[in-house]
Structure 1
Amino acid sequence: MQESPTTWPKFRGATPRILLLTSQYFLIGELEAACKRLGVDHLLLDFGTREMDLDQFVAAMTEAFETFRPDFVLTVNHLGVDREGILAELLNRYNLPLASWFVDNPHLILGVYKHLLEPRAALFTWDLDTVGPLREMGFGHVFHLPLGADPSRLKPRRTEPVAAWRAPISFVGNSMLTKTLMRAQAANPSEALFRAGMEVAKAFASADAPLAGPFMTEHFPEVRAAYKAFNDPERELAFETFVTWQATLLYRLECVSRILPLRPLIVGDTGWQEFFSAHTGWRYHPELSYYDDLPDFYPASDINFNCTSRQMTGAVNQRVFDVPCCGGFLLTDRRHRIEDLFEPGSEIVCYATPEEIPALAERYLNDPAARKKVAEAARKRVLAEHTYDHRMRSIMETMRATFG
C-alpha cells in the first residue's frame, strides 16, 4: 500500500531524523552542530524575525514535513511555535511529536500559547523544580535536561591575551535594569500595582520559591488578584516576568556589590554604571560576544563570579558549564541541583549566601593552586558528561522511548 504524505513510519532508523525549528538562532546552533558530529540527519528551519502570514507558515511547514519526513520536531523555548496553535494542528495531522527544550522558565513563556496540550509533545526543562508544575498543567511527558557546553566553540581565538580583560575577579551578566522596565511597560499596571510589584520583588528576591506566580498566590494574594484582573494573558505574563526580573536585579546587586572591594571587572549593560556610579575601584566593560570573546575572557580572570537569575532556584545557568569548559575558575551561588552535576568543593566552589562571598573570594584569590585544581576537575566533568552532544543524545533517546 502506498504511503500518504502524512503517514510515513517514524523512528525506524538507527538515529532519528530531526527538524530543528526556531525563530531566533538561540542554542539551535549548538544542537545543529551536535547533530552534525553525531551523524544525525537534520533540517534547520529558521523563520527569523520576519513576518509570515498564515498561508506562508503552513506552506513552509508542510513542505518541510513532506520532503524531509522527520521523526520529530525540536525547538528551544518554543521558538518557532506560533501562539495561535496552527503548528499544533499540523503536528497532529502528520502525527509528528514535538520536543521543546526550555532553558528559561517555561512558566514565563507558555502562558501566551493556545492549544498547548494538543500535539504529542515532550517538554524538556533545564530546571528540575519546574517538572512537577508542568505536569500539573497537563503535560504528560516532561523531562529534566540541564544546560551544557560546546567545547568545539568555547575555545580561545586569540594568540595573545587582551590586557584590558585581565582581572583578579570579574562578573559577566545583565543588570536587568532595562529588561525589568520593559516588562513593566508591557504589563502596564497602575502606579499602585507597580509599587506593589516592586515590594513583591523584594520578598521574592530572598525567598526560596521557584515561581513568582505561586509565590504571590501564597504571600501576596491581593497583588495576584489585581494583575489577574487584567484578563489578558500577555499582560499577566509580563507582570510576573517584571517581578521575576526585578527580584533578579535586587539579588544581583546584593551579590555583585560584595566583590566591589576586590576591584572587579564587570561586563554587561550600562545599568551597572548607573548602579555603581558612586563606587570607585571597579572597572566596566561593554557586553562581549559569546563565542568570539568569552572563551578568551574567562581564563583572563583569576575568579569568574556568578550569581543566578531568580527565574530558577534549583537549576544552574550557562556560565557554570562555560567557564570551566574554557579553563576558567568559577565562584557561583549554590543551587539545589548543583550537586547532581558537579562535586562541591572539588569541581565547583559555591557560596550559600551573599555574606559568604568576600571570604570565599579572598581565599581563592590567594590560592592559585587550588583554583587550578578545581578548574581542571570541572573541565574534565564537563567534557565527560555535560556537552551538547550528551544533551542531544538524551533528547533522541527520550523521544524514541516515548513516541517510537
Structure 2
Amino acid sequence: MVQTQTRWPKFRSEKPRILLLTSQYFLIGELQAACERSGVEHLLLDFGTKEMDLDGFVSKMLGTLTAFRPDFVLTVNHLGVDREGVLATLLAQFDVPLASWFVDNPHLILGAYENLHGTRTAIFTWDSDNLDSLRGMGFENVFYLPLGADPTRLTPHRSEPVEEWRAPVSFVGNSMLGKAIKRIEAARPSQRLVESGLMVARAFGESNEPCSGRFMVKNFPELRDDFEALETVERKQAFETFLTWQATLMYRLDCVLRILDFDALIVGDEGWKELLKGRPGWRYHGELSYYEDLPDFYPLSDINFNCTSQQMKGAVNQRVFDVPCCGAFLLTDYRRQMEELFEPGSEIVYYNHPDEIPGLVEMYMERPDKRRAVAEAARRRVLAEHTYDHRLARLIEIMRRTFA
C-alpha cells in the first residue's frame, strides 16, 4: 500500500500538470499539441499495443506518478487503462483523479473493465445522449465534451493539387463490412443470433436507442437467452458492436447510393468494392492519411458528403469539424446536437432523410457562391469555438472545479 505521505496537493498552480495516458496514438496527439500551445505541463505515457506483465505495469506507473506528480490523468476511450482495475487502485492510493474522454460509444467499451469506480473519475462523452446512461452505470461525474479540430494540423501540405482527387462529390469513410465481419467472428453467436442479426441491426439503425444490446433485449426478447449464452463480457460486447457496425453499414450504403449519379469519388477500405460492385457512376480510391492527405483532399471536392455512424444517434462526428476547418463545404446528415455547435443553413447544411440527398447535391453543385459562404462561416465558427485548445481548456476547468 502506498503511504499517504507520498500524495501531493492537486490543482495548486494556475495550470495543471497532466499525465496523458494511451495504448494507441489516438487523439492523444491533438491533446498533447493543445497542451504545448496552452503552456500546460504534461507527460505522455504510451503503453503501446503489446501486453505488459502486471509487475512491469505497476512499476512503470509508480515511477511515473511519483516523479511527475500530475494533477490528473487524461486518457481517450480508456486507452491505457487496464481492464483488471490495477491503475484505478494506484490512482486511488495517490489520490489522482482520472479523466476519460470517450469519442466512441462508451457502452461498447466500459463493460470489459473492472474496478471502474475505485478512483476519482470523470467521464467525458462526445455524445450528450450518453449522460444519463453513464450516470446510471454509477459514475458520479459525467460531462459532455464534443469533438473538435486542430487547425494547425489540418493544413495543406502540397504545392500542387492531386488532380485525381478532384470530384463533384466525395465520401471519405469506412464501409464497415470488414469491421462487422470481425465482430461477428469474435462473438461466435448461435445460428439463431446470426440469422436474426441483420434484422435487429436494421431495426436498431432506425431507432433512437443509442445502445444496440439494450435495444435488442427490449425489442427482441426472444433472443435474450441466445445473447446471454454468449457468456463472457467480451463476446457480448463483440455482438453489440457487430449490431452497431452492421446498422452503420446498411445506413451508410443507403446514403452513398444516392450520390453515385453525380460522378462520386468514394474513399475508404476495399469493402466498398464489394458493396458497390456493378454499380455505375462512381470512382474508388484507397484510404488516405488523416493528416498528410485529407487537408489537401477536402478542398478538391465541390461537396464533401457525410453520413454518421450509428454508434451515435444525436452527436456529430469528426468530419463535421474537419471539413470546414480545411475551408471546404460539407453536406451531412442531421443530428440533434449539431444545432448547439453550428447555425443550420448558414454554417452547416444537412439532410433529414436519405431521400433528400440527390436534390441537395444537385442544388449545391449549382451554387458555388453559397457553398463558399457556408464553408467560410463554418470555418470561422470552428476556429472561434471548436478547436482542441477549446476542448482542453473546458476539460481542465471541469476537472479543477470537480476535484480541486
Compute the displacement of 1:205 (Å): 1.8
Give matches, 1:89-104, under 5 Å. 89-104=89-104
Compute the displacement of 1:389 (Å): 0.1
User: Structure 2 CA distance, aligned partners of 1:21 and 1:105?
Assistant: 19
Compute the displacement of 1:225 (Å): 3.3
Compute the displacement of 1:289 (Å): 0.1
Tell me the TM-score normalised to structure 1 length.
Answer: 0.98
Partner of 1:379: 379
1:120 maps onto 2:120 in alignment: yes
Higher mean C-alpha deviation, range 130-139 or range 44-53: 44-53
Give matches, 1:273-292, under 5 Å. 273-292=273-292
Partner of 2:340: 340
Partner of 2:321: 321
Percent of aligned positions with the same letter in both sequences? 65
Compute the displacement of 1:394 (Å): 0.7
Q: Give the SS at the match of 2:277.
A: coil
Task: Name the aligned partner's letter for residue 343 of structure 2.
Answer: E
Partner of 1:134: 134
Task: Name the aligned partner's letter for residue 158 of structure 1.
Answer: R
Partner of 1:147: 147
* Kept after mapping to 1: 8 A contact 2:190/2:226: no
Task: Name the aligned partner's letter for residue 352 of structure 2.
Answer: A
User: Structure 2 CA distance, aligned partners of 1:271 and 1:285?
Assistant: 12
Task: Name the aligned partner's letter for residue 128 of structure 2.
Answer: L
**1:13–1:274 distance in 2 versus 1, CA, 3 Å:** same
Partner of 1:166: 166
Partner of 1:202: 202
User: Structure 2 CA distance, aligned partners of 1:13 and 1:352?
Assistant: 47
Task: Name the aligned partner's letter for residue 372 of structure 1.
Answer: R
- Structure 2: runs of 5 or more not aligned: none
Q: Give the SS at the match of 1:59.
A: helix
Spell out, residue by residue over 1:366-389, the C-alpha distance to the aligned partner (whole angstroms, 9 max, x if none). 100000000000000000000000
Partner of 1:358: 358
Compute the displacement of 1:221 (Å): 1.6
User: Structure 1 CA distance, aligned partners of 2:58 and 2:70?
Assistant: 16
* Kept after mapping to 2: 8 A contact 1:5/1:66: no
1:249 maps onto 2:249 in alignment: yes
Spell out, residue by residue over 1:36-93, the C-alpha distance to the aligned partner (whole angstroms, 9 max, x if none). 0000000000011122100100011001100000000000000000000000110111
User: Structure 2 CA distance, aligned partners of 1:116 and 1:195?
Assistant: 35
Partner of 2:231: 231
Q: Give the SS at the match of 2:336.
A: coil
User: Structure 2 CA distance, aligned partners of 1:49 and 1:331?
Assistant: 36
Spell out, residue by residue over 1:200-247, the C-alpha distance to the aligned partner (whole angstroms, 9 max, x if none). 001112222221122112211222332122221000000100001000
Q: Give the SS at the match of 1:195.
A: helix
Root-mean-square deviation (CA, aligned residues, Å) is: 1.0
* Kept after mapping to 2: 8 A contact 1:198/1:246: yes
Partner of 1:42: 42
Q: Give the SS at the match of 2:6.
A: coil
User: Structure 2 CA distance, aligned partners of 1:372 and 1:323?
Assistant: 12
Higher mean C-alpha deviation, range 214-223 or range 334-343: 214-223
User: Structure 1 CA distance, aligned partners of 2:217 and 2:227?
Assistant: 11
Partner of 1:22: 22
User: Structure 2 CA distance, aligned partners of 1:382 and 1:230?
Assistant: 44
User: Structure 1 CA distance, aligned partners of 2:78 and 2:151?
Assistant: 25
User: Structure 2 CA distance, aligned partners of 1:312 and 1:384?
Assistant: 25
Task: Name the aligned partner's letter for residue 76 of structure 1.
Answer: V
Higher mean C-alpha deviation, range 175-184 or range 44-53: 44-53
User: Structure 2 CA distance, aligned partners of 1:224 and 1:12?
Assistant: 51
Task: Name the aligned partner's letter for residue 225 of structure 1.
Answer: D
Compute the displacement of 1:4 (Å): 5.9
* Kept after mapping to 2: 8 A contact 1:168/1:301: yes
Spell out, residue by residue over 1:276-319, the C-alpha distance to the aligned partner (whole angstroms, 9 max, x if none). 11112200000000000000000000000000000000110000
Q: Give the SS at the match of 1:44.
A: strand
User: Structure 2 CA distance, aligned partners of 1:209 and 1:254?
Assistant: 20
Compute the displacement of 1:5 (Å): 5.6
Spell out, residue by residue over 1:332-355, the C-alpha distance to the aligned partner (whole angstroms, 9 max, x if none). 000011100001100000000000
Spell out, residue by residue over 1:96-118, the C-alpha distance to the aligned partner (whole angstroms, 9 max, x if none). 10000000000000010011111
User: Structure 1 CA distance, aligned partners of 2:195 and 2:127?
Assistant: 30
Q: How many residues align?
A: 402
Give matches, 1:173-212, under 5 Å. 173-212=173-212
* Kept after mapping to 2: 8 A contact 1:158/1:296: yes
User: Structure 2 CA distance, aligned partners of 1:98 and 1:46?
Assistant: 16
Compute the displacement of 1:196 (Å): 1.0
User: Structure 2 CA distance, aligned partners of 1:398 and 1:223?
Assistant: 41
* Kept after mapping to 2: 8 A contact 1:148/1:391: yes
Higher mean C-alpha deviation, range 221-230 or range 90-99: 221-230
User: Structure 2 CA distance, aligned partners of 1:51 and 1:215?
Assistant: 34
Spell out, residue by residue over 1:227-275, the C-alpha distance to the aligned partner (whole angstroms, 9 max, x if none). 1222210000001000010000000000000001111000000111111
Task: Name the aligned partner's letter for residue 85 of structure 1.
Answer: G
* Kept after mapping to 1: 8 A contact 2:4/2:93: no
User: Structure 2 CA distance, aligned partners of 1:130 and 1:380?
Assistant: 29
Compute the displacement of 1:6 (Å): 2.6
1:403 maps onto 2:403 in alignment: yes
User: Structure 2 CA distance, aligned partners of 1:220 and 1:5?
Assistant: 54
- Structure 1: runs of 5 or more not aligned: none
Spell out, residue by residue over 1:107-158, the C-alpha distance to the aligned partner (whole angstroms, 9 max, x if none). 0000100111111100000000001100001000000000000000000000
* Kept after mapping to 2: 8 A contact 1:213/1:224: no
Task: Name the aligned partner's letter for residue 50 of structure 2.
Answer: R
Tell me the TM-score normalised to structure 2 length.
Answer: 0.98
User: Structure 2 CA distance, aligned partners of 1:313 and 1:288?
Assistant: 26
Higher mean C-alpha deviation, range 190-199 or range 165-174: 190-199
